Structure formats: structure tokens, C-alpha cells
């Protein structure tokens, strides 16, 4: 358990929660007796730079997400699944922010400050002989929806190899690889196949040029 000191003479517990790869950190804010937002922070050093992982739970709308904060960027993990979904501030690539995030989460694991929680999200999955395909849709406030595409290997039961790519416009075209070394063209072919199958099976919907997981 990690103790965090507030400016008022009260000590409260910071709990970092992990469920099958899903992350959430909670700190009862010292600003009010009954806070509407719960915030947790973890500070660490990576490649001689200081970073923070900050987790936010907005009780008013039941919204949970994690932020990775560095000197030159702010990145967001909208569904707390260990994967960076968007760079909110700065020009750092998703893959570079992901390396920082992975390292911070690894430190939290080594320090035994992780517990488990399962967030809700919109996703469509298909199982193949050697891997799972997953399409996850996000609906951030004041921004257009976007998709995250994953290929999860079935060869390893613990920490399976995962390839992650992003479709920032949710238009069926992958824009950036977040994890993995598979060429974007190959991933695009698998993403297109998954979209076509998902539309046929009514697991995905297409509105104008936007393709999203059916709610």
C-alpha cells in the first residue's frame, strides 16, 4: 500500500488496481470531504526523465481513465487496459509514450502496488486458430471517436504477445502501430477482414465513413 501525503494533516491510501491487464489507480482527493473526482498519482524516473502516471475516476459520470504525464507530453489510456490511446498534449509518438507507460506499470508491479478491476468498454472480438482479433471503439468527450485494433497471440497463456494499432478517424484505415513489429500493410489487411466480418455479423456499424463497435 502506498501512502500519499496531502497538504492537510491527513494521510490516505493510494491503491493501484490491476485485473487481467486492466489498470486503475484511486486516491481520495483531499480537497473536499466527499470528493466528486478521485485522483491517484505515481511518480517515477525513466531514462533520466521524471514522469507520472495519474488515474482519474469522475464519480459524477462514472468515467475512469489513466494519464501518463511527461515534460513534453500528456497521454491517455481511456479504458485503463495498459495501452495508450491518444496523445492529448505534445508531439511524442504513441509508441514512445507506451514505453514510458509500460515501464511505470512494471515498477508498480514490482512494488506490489497493483490490485484488480475490470472497466467497461465497447469491443468486438473474433477468435482464430493462433490468435484473437479485437476492435475497440472509444468515444472521448469533445473529440471524434476512434478505434484500437489488437492481435493477441494464443501461444502464451501468461503475458501473451500483443500487437496494437490505432485508427484515429475510425474510418477503417490504420494510422499508427503502437506495439509490435508487423508491417502496417499486413495489419491493415487483417483489420479490413475483421471489419468486414464484424459488419456482416452485426457486431460493428458503419455510419457515413465511420466504423464503430455496435453499442
Domain regions of the chain by residue span: 2-115, 122-213
What value does the mean pLDDT take over residues 112-123?
A: 68
pTM listed for this prediction: 0.68
Q: How far is the C-alpha of 85 from the C-alpha of 128, rounded, in Å?
A: 25
Do 105 and 53 meet the contact criterion of CB atoms below 8 Å apart?
yes
Q: Is the pLDDT of residue 27 over 60?
A: no
Instruction: Report CA 77 to chain centroid distance, whole Å.
Output: 3
What value does the mean pLDDT take over residues 135-159?
A: 85
pLDDT category of residue 148 using cuts at 50, 70 and 90: very high
Q: What is the per-residue pLDDT across 70-98, written as a single tens digit (0 to 9) for each?
A: 999 999 998 888 899 999 999 899 999 99
Bridge partner list, 49? 46
Predicted local distance difference test score (pLDDT) of residue 117: 63
Please report, for residues 9, 77, 80, 185, the alpha-carbon distance to residue 85 in angstroms, rounded to integers and kept in the order given. 37, 5, 10, 20
pLDDT category of residue 147 using cuts at 50, 70 and 90: very high
Predicted local distance difference test score (pLDDT) of residue 3: 35
Of residues 14 and 103, which shows the higher confidence score? 103
Amino acid at each position: 500500500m502506498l501512502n500519499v501525503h496531502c497538504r492537510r494533516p491527513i494521510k490516505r491510501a493510494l491503491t493501484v488496481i490491476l485485473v487481467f491487464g486492466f489498470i486503475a489507480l484511486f486516491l481520495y482527493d483531499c480537497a473536499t470531504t466527499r470528493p466528486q473526482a478521485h485522483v491517484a498519482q505515481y511518480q517515477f524516473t525513466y531514462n533520466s526523465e521524471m514522469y507520472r502516471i495519474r488515474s482519474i475516476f469522475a464519480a459524477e459520470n462514472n468515467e475512469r481513465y489513466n494519464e501518463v504525464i511527461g515534460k513534453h507530453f500528456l497521454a491517455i489510456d481511456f479504458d485503463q487496459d495498459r495501452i495508450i490511446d491518444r496523445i492529448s498534449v505534445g508531439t511524442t509518438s504513441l509508441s514512445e509514450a507506451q514505453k514510458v507507460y509500460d515501464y511505470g506499470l512494471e515498477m508498480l508491479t514490482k512494488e506490489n502496488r497493483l490490485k484488480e478491476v475490470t472497466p467497461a468498454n465497447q469491443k468486438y472480438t473474433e477468435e482464430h486458430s493462433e490468435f484473437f482479433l479485437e476492435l475497440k471503439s472509444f468515444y472521448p468527450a469533445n473529440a471524434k471517436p476512434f478505434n484500437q485494433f489488437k492481435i493477441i497471440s494464443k501461444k502464451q497463456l501468461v503475458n501473451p504477445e500483443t500487437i496494437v494499432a490505432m485508427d484515429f478517424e475510425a474510418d477503417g484505415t490504420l494510422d499508427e502501430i503502437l506495439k509490435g513489429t508487423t508491417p502496417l500493410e499486413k495489419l491493415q489487411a487483417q483489420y479490413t477482414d475483421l471489419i468486414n466480418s464484424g459488419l456482416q455479423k452485426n457486431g460493428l456499424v458503419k455510419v457515413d465513413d465511420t466504423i464503430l463497435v455496435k453499442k
